[in-house]
Amino acid sequence: MMPLFQNELVKKRQYITDEELIDLYSIGQCTPGIIAVNISTFIGYKMLGIIGGLFSTLGMISPSIIIISIIASFMKAFMDNEILNHAFAGIRVCVVALMLNIVYGLFRKSVTNKFTFTVFLMSLFLLFQFGVSPIFIVLLSAFTGFLSENVKKIRSNKAK
Amino acid sequence: MILFTLYYEFFKIGLFAIGGGLVTIPFLFDLATRYPWFDAKLLSNMIAISESTPGPIGVNMATFSGFQAGGITGGIIATFGLVTPSVVIIMLIAKLMKKYKDDERINKTLASVRPAVLGLILFACYEIAKISIVDIKTSVMFMVFFVLIFHFKKNPIIYITLSAIAGVVFKI
How confident is the model over B9-49, as pLDDT tens digits?
A: 999 999 999 887 889 999 999 999 999 999 999 999 999 89
Give strand pairing partners of B18: A32
Give strand pairing partners of A98: none
Q: Is residue B150 part of a domain?
A: no
Please, are residues B6 and B77 in contact by the beta-carbon 8 Å criterion? Answer: yes
Task: Work out how many domains chain B is built from and give that number.
Answer: 1
Mean pLDDT across A30-37: 88
Helical (H) or strand (E) element with B117: helix B104-132
Residue B66 has pLDDT above 90, yes or no: yes
Who among B86, B108, B118 is closest to A33 (CB)? B86
Please, are residues B146 and A97 in contact by the beta-carbon 8 Å criterion? Answer: yes
**B39 contact residues in A (CB cutoff 8 A):** none
Please, are residues B18 and A125 in contact by the beta-carbon 8 Å criterion? Answer: no
Instruction: At B103, give phi and psi (nearest 5°).
Output: -70, 120
Q: Is residue B97 part of a domain?
A: yes
**B126 contact residues in A (CB cutoff 8 A):** 128
How confident is the model over B144-169, as pLDDT tens digits?
A: 999 999 999 778 889 999 999 999 99
Separation between Cα atoms, residue A136 and residue A121, nearest integer Å: 15
**A121 contact residues in B (CB cutoff 8 A):** 119
Provide CB contacts within 8 A for A39, sequence distance 6+: A5, A21, A24, A25, A28
The whole-angstrom distance between B5's CA and the closest CA on chain A is 17
Residue A9 has pLDDT above 90, yes or no: no
Q: Is residue B144 part of a domain?
A: no
Q: Do A68 and B44 touch (CB under 8 A)?
A: no
Separation between Cα atoms, residue A33 and residue A136, nearest integer Å: 17
Domain that holds residue B60: 2-102
Q: Do A61 and B79 touch (CB under 8 A)?
A: yes
Q: Is residue B28 part of a domain?
A: yes
pLDDT score, position A8: 83
How confident is the model over A61-72, as pLDDT tens digits?
A: 999 999 999 999
Residue B7 has pLDDT above 90, yes or no: yes
Q: Is residue B123 part of a domain?
A: no
The whole-angstrom distance between B70's CA and the closest CA on chain A is 11
Nearest residue of A to residue B46, measured between CA atoms: A72
- What ipTM does this complex have? 0.87
Long-range Cβ contact pairs of A4-11 (< 8 A, separation 24 or more): A5/A36, A5/A39, A9/A43
Instruction: Convert A73-141 into a string of H (helix), E (strand) and C (coil).
Output: HHHHHHCCCHHHHHHHHHHHHHHHHHHHHHHHHHHHHHCCCHHHHHHHHHHHHHHHHHCCCHHHHHHHH
Domain boundaries, chain A: 1-79, 83-110, 112-160
